[in-house]
C-alpha cells in the first residue's frame, strides 16, 4: 500500500543520520517524491514528526509503517 501525503506513519528504523528520529516516533507525511539513483527506485517522504521536527526518510533505506 503506497504512502501518500497526509498519511500517518511510524518510524521503524532510520540509518545514516547523525541526529535520527527515535524509533517508534509517529508523524504526518507532508510530501512524497520518487526518483531513481544507482539503478534503484527510491521514495523520499518529508515528514512532520510529532516531536516538533521535520525530517525526510528515504525508502527503502529507512523503514516506516503506515498507521492511519
pTM surpassing 0.85?
Answer: yes
Distance CA 46, CA 31 (A): 5
- Domains in the chain: boundaries: 8-66
Per-residue pLDDT tens for 7-48? 999 999 999 889 999 999 999 999 999 999 889 999 999 999
Output the pLDDT for position 38: 86
The C-alpha R_g of the chain, in whole angstroms, comes to 11
Q: Within a 10 A sphere around the Cβ of 56, how many other Cβ atoms?
A: 13
Q: Residues 6 or more apart from 52 whose CB is under 8 A from it?
A: none
Amino acid at each position: 500500500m503506497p504512502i501518500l501525503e497526509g498519511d500517518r506513519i511510524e518510524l521503524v528504523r532510520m540509518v545514516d543520520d547523525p541526529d535520527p528520529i527515535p524509533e517508534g516516533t509517529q508523524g504526518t507525511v507532508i510530501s512524497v517524491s520518487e526518483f531513481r539513483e544507482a539503478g534503484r527506485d527510491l521514495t523520499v517522504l518529508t515528514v512532520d514528526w510529532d516531536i516538533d521536527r521535520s525530517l525526510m526518510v528515504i525508502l527503502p533505506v529507512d523503514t516506516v509503517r503506515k498507521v492511519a
